[in-house]
Amino acid sequence: MPREHSRAFAPGRVNLIGEHTDYNRGLSLPFAIAAGVTVRAEALAPGAGGEQRIEALASDLGERDEFPLAAPAPAEGWRAYVRGIVAELARAGWPLVGARLQISGGVPPGAGLSSSAALEVALCLALIDLASPEEAGAQRERLERTELARLCARVENEWVGAQTGLLDQLASLYGSVEEALRIDFSTLEITPVPLRLGGWRAVVLDSGEPHVHASSGYNQRRAECARACELLGVESLREAFPDDVRRLPEPLARRVAHVIGENERVRLAVSALRADDLPAVARLLNASHASLRDDYEVSTPALEAAVARLLAGGAAGARLIGGGFGGSVLGLLAPGLDPPAGAREVRPGPGAHLVND
Ligand code: GLA
């Protein structure tokens, strides 16, 4: 039996380290944050002709959308996510019912904290729970969550035009309190790693430059990695070795050097966290940023300025997070230091869940 209404929350994420590795079947270490998107879904009676509709209201933007449940047409902006999720859930065989959706959120769009993944995931959970609450219980299981992450990534790829990987969605779906997630994108194995910060603080600072995947250099970087794979005769850069870098022309050589180095930095960061060695984690953040700036070339003057502000404010390590080309930077502050003006503290929080009362 469908419910009358359902409410779901999905968090944004901060990636501690392991950037531009997800679509290269590499390693990442993200955590879910407290800020996220809430979707309230209310069952909507069919129209006079029996047609089921979706009405959506983006509360923070004061914008709305309306479309037939059976045939969502492509759209721009936030509407592309809503229509894409509805279409892909239906295509995957999830039973859906007409609904009025109210979307509200505390993840600033464009800040590089995955407001879009949070929106996709919250929509999925609310729509599934509204139509079939018993399924919504089952989807807590691992396989279903990973399937949902894939479905959300298809929406990014096919409805929004961003060739993103699974990092943001998996982080939002699997997030857990006081833990980061080591994700191996070659197997999709997810291993929680305790994030014991002690007196240290993780802070994010918005560069003020909005980050938009579809129109940034993100898709181009992805294409460069695919080209490097072709030239090396491998299926993914996970199979590339440091020696391979010399066989590639520029800029592909530097792109591959970043990916190989970044995977190694994730391994080292996991070991450092297990040993409570936060200074080592901070040094790895700096190394990751240098690689993203010099080899992967996804930094911008605004991101550099934000990193410089965090370091000047006493951060032991700082780096751009997410796809780059705008968005936020992450810094690690040693005990006793206050976050610089404009920076806000982030802590690992729970993954996506229903919040029905
Ligand atoms: C964005 C994408 C992710 C990932 C990161 C870079 O956040 O959505 O899939 O590729 O960039 O690590």
Q: Please write the tens of the pLDDT for every residue from 240-295.
A: 999 999 999 999 999 999 999 999 999 999 999 999 999 999 999 999 999 999 99
pTM: 0.96
Confidence of residue 351 (pLDDT cuts 50, 70, 90): very high
Assigned token pair, 24: 């290269």
The residue whose CA has the least distance to atom 11 of ligand 1 is 323
The residue whose CA has the least distance to atom 8 of ligand 1 is 164
**Which atom of ligand 1 lies nearest, measured to the CA of 15?**
12
Mean of per-residue pLDDT scores for the chain = 94
Q: What's the pLDDT score for residue 133?
A: 76
C-beta 23 within 6 A of ligand 1: yes
Q: How far is the CA of 23 from the centre of ligand 1 (A)?
A: 8
Closest CA to 353 of 118, 194, 180: 118
Q: What's the pLDDT score for residue 164?
A: 92
Q: Can 168 be counted among the known catalytic residues?
A: yes
**Which atom of ligand 1 lies nearest, measured to the CA of 19?**
12
Rounded Cα–Cα distance for residues 72 and 67 (Å): 6
Average pLDDT over residues 55-68: 95
Q: Which residues of 304-341 are buried (b: 16+ CB within 10 A; e: fewer)?
A: eebbebbbebebbbbbbbbbbbbbbbbbbbbeebebbe
Catalytic residue among 65, 168, 206, 295: 168
Rounded Cα–Cα distance for residues 180 and 211 (Å): 23
**Which atom of ligand 1 lies nearest, measured to the CA of 23?**
10
Which tens digit of pLDDT belongs to each residue from 114-147?
A: 899 999 999 999 999 999 877 655 555 555 899 9
Is pLDDT above 60 for 347? Answer: yes
| Better pLDDT: 1 or 104 | 104
Give the whole-number percent of the chain exceeding pLDDT 90: 87
Which tens digit of pLDDT belongs to each residue from 17-47?
A: 999 999 999 999 999 999 999 999 999 999 8
Confidence of residue 106 (pLDDT cuts 50, 70, 90): confident
Q: How many CB atoms lie within 10 A of CB 196?
A: 12
Closest CA to 8 of 75, 105, 97: 105
Is pLDDT above 60 for 316? Answer: yes
The separation between CA 50 and the C-alpha centre of its own chain, rounded to angstroms, equals 38
Average pLDDT over residues 312-322: 97
Q: How far is the CA of 330 from the centre of ligand 1 (A)?
A: 15
Q: What are the beta bridge partners of residue 30?
A: 15
Is pLDDT above 90 for 319? Answer: yes
Q: What's the pLDDT score for residue 213?
A: 66
Average pLDDT over residues 223-252: 97
Give the whole-number percent of the chain exceeding pLDDT 70: 97
Closest CA to 262 of 331, 195, 320: 320
C-beta 20 within 6 A of ligand 1: yes
Q: What's the pLDDT score for residue 215?
A: 64
Rounded Cα–Cα distance for residues 326 and 195 (Å): 26
Average pLDDT over residues 179-184: 98
Please give the helix or strand (H or E) that residue 118 lies within, else none.
Answer: helix 115-131
Average pLDDT over residues 155-177: 95
From 224-228, 231-235, 277-281, 340-344, the region with the lowest mean pLDDT: 340-344
Name every residue whose Cβ is closer than 8 Å to that of residue 76 and which is 6 or more positions away in sequence.
Answer: none
Between strands 99-105 and 53-58, the pairing is parallel
Q: What's the pLDDT score for residue 356?
A: 80
C-beta 175 within 6 A of ligand 1: no
| Better pLDDT: 264 or 216 | 264
Tokens 């802070």 locate to: 203
What dihedral do alpha carbons 69, 74, 77, 81 form, nearest 10°? 50
Q: How far is the CA of 81 from the centre of ligand 1 (A)?
A: 17
